[in-house]
């Protein structure tokens, strides 16, 4: 399970980041088209310098708002992977 590295937040330790993993591989063209969408970029900007708990809830709401569309799944998975690459989650 992917976990937060910020152990000082008890609630964050219980966040299951694997719920944002939908695909084993996303073609580059599809990923770029999805993540460059203006509404998604506004959501990403709103998560800058926020807690992991806020990011988690925002990603969850984004999926729900977009009825778990393929595009929203690509977007949220890509963001979760970026958090992992930056060392914020394992």
Alpha helices in 20-69 (DSSP H): 28-35, 38-46, 52-65
> What are the pLDDT digits (tens) for 3-27?
444 443 334 457 889 888 998 988 8
**Residue 84 near residue 12, CB atoms below 8 Å:** no
pLDDT along the chain (90 residues), means of 10: 42 76 89 92 96 96 96 94 91
Q: How many helices (H) and strands (E) does the chain have?
A: 5, 0
pTM for the complete prediction? 0.80
């Amino acid at each position: 399970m992917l976990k937060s590295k910020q152990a000082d937040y008890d609630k964050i330790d219980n966040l299951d980041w694997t719920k944002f993993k939908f695909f084993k591989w996303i073609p580059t063209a599809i990923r770029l088209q999805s993540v460059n969408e203006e509404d998604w970029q506004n959501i990403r900007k709103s998560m800058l310098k926020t807690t992991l708990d806020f990011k988690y809830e925002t990603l969850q709401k984004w999926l729900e708002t977009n009825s778990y569309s393929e595009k929203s799944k690509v977007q949220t998975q890509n963001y979760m992977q970026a958090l992992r690459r930056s060392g914020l989650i394992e």
